[in-house]
Amino acid sequence: MAKKRPQTKAERPELTDAEIAVVGAREPCPCGSGRRYKACHGRAAAHAVTELVHRPFEGLAGECDWIALRELVPAATVELHLREGLPEDVPSVVLATVLPMAWPALRRDDGTVLLGLQNDTASGDISRDLADTLERALVAEPGTPVQGRRPSAGGPRLQDLLDPEGPFEPVVHSGFEFWVPDAQNTTPEVAASLERANEAAIPTVKLAGVDAAYWCETPDKNHLRWVMPHAEEQLLDALARLHAAGQSSLGEGTRLVGSFRAHGLTVPVWDLPTAMGAEDIEKPAAEFAERLAAALSSKEPLTADERRARGGLTNRQVTLS
């Protein structure tokens, strides 16, 4: 009998992770291994898109305001500036807290792109999700919404697309009329969505004298929610020093009641009397900022009273994200 010739396998060109497309979990992996995608390169891709990024807006201009608009402010817009400039057929790119029908993004008839911030995201990195949506919106047909999807691992983040030197200047609105430049010709669905959104919106004002502080009005009392850029432990120590010294309020009838944790930063919250409007809180907030700066610079160990105050503040923290 003739001997069988030894079989040789043709060499496959090796692909980098970036060159391997994202496919369905049960489909063959594009790398050619013969295994299903979920058991091959899909495992690393799934881990990459679900791993939680603690501070997704870190490195962006206005990180504290990004967090406020994501978690606290009902209706606001900000014009965004791209690193590479705008495409010729895109007049502007505008970040919006919420879009009609909860669309992740919208390309208007005039080519303007609206990017929604307060949407559910498919991965653990909000920045990567938003960047993926933004890139698709820039090339979408005018007059169409852009749906959400899971971004590919290793895709760009907002930090890659936005100009780090560009201004980030939120404009807070009393309602969502910015959705519809021509309210007379909007669809019934969008009109109904606009009406529901306006009914649910809490009156909110951004303070002018300090960064990322937002006054809001509720039926029982008003509040000040202030996103601060300081490290959490350092900030809690400083707030405890002020609280123990009776200097944590913003004036008569006001009280520091606790804080939120949101996207890696801390958001102290004050209760305010219903009669105290946004204009009334400007001066007390500026004065508090000076007291806080002094407390943040202290290197002394906390006293017993300050430790008790810190424990109380810690117990009244609520994590938003």
pLDDT tens for residues 25-68?
Answer: 667 887 878 787 667 766 655 554 567 899 999 999 999 999 99
Position 9 confidence tier, pLDDT thresholds 50, 70, 90: very low
User: Considering Cα of 237, then 240, then 242, then 248, what sign does the dihedral take?
Assistant: positive
Residues 69 and 76: beta-carbon distance below 8 Å: yes
In terms of pLDDT, which residue wins out, 146 or 4? 146
Q: According to the model, what pLDDT value does residue 227 have?
A: 98
Q: According to the model, what pLDDT value does residue 182 have?
A: 73
pLDDT tens-place string over residues 308-318: 999 999 999 99
Q: According to the model, what pLDDT value does residue 250 have?
A: 98
The neighbour count for residue 243, using CB atoms within 10 Å, is 22
Tokens of 125: 């990195």
Residues 54 and 63: beta-carbon distance below 8 Å: no
pLDDT tens-place string over residues 114-164: 999 999 888 999 999 999 999 999 999 999 999 999 898 889 999 999 999
Q: What does pTM read for this prediction?
A: 0.83
Q: Supply φ then ψ for residue 205, to 5 degrees.
A: -135, 135
Name the least confident of 177-181, 227-231, 248-252. 177-181
pLDDT tens-place string over residues 174-219: 999 998 877 667 788 888 888 888 998 999 999 999 999 999 999 8
Q: Supply φ then ψ for residue 111, to 5 degrees.
A: 95, -10
- Locus of tokens 């909110």: 204
Residues near 190 by Cβ (< 8 Å), separated by ≥ 6?
A: 100, 101, 179, 180
Average pLDDT over residues 235-249: 98
Q: According to the model, what pLDDT value does residue 1 have?
A: 41
Residues 222 and 273: beta-carbon distance below 8 Å: yes
3-state secondary structure the chain: CCCCCCCCCCCCCCCCHHHCCCCCCCCECCCCCCCEHHHCHHHHHHHHHHCCCCCCCCCCCCHHHHHHHHHCCCCEEEEECECCCCCCCCCCEEEECCCHHHCCEEECCCCCEEEECCCCCCCCCHHHHHHHHHHHHHCCCCCEEECCCCCCCCCCCHHHHECCCCCCCCEECCCCHHHCCCHHHCCHHHHHHHHHHHHHCCCEEECCCCCCEEEEECCCCEEEEECECCCHHHHHHHHHHHHHCCCCCCCCCCEEEEEEEECCEEEEEEEECCCCCHHHHHHHHHHHHHHHHHHHHCCCCCCHHHHHHHHHHHHCEEECC
How does the average pLDDT of the chain come out, rounded? 89
Q: According to the model, what pLDDT value does residue 2 have?
A: 44
Tokens of 39: 């058991």
Q: According to the model, what pLDDT value does residue 84 have?
A: 94
pLDDT tens-place string over residues 64-102: 999 999 999 999 999 999 999 999 999 999 999 999 889
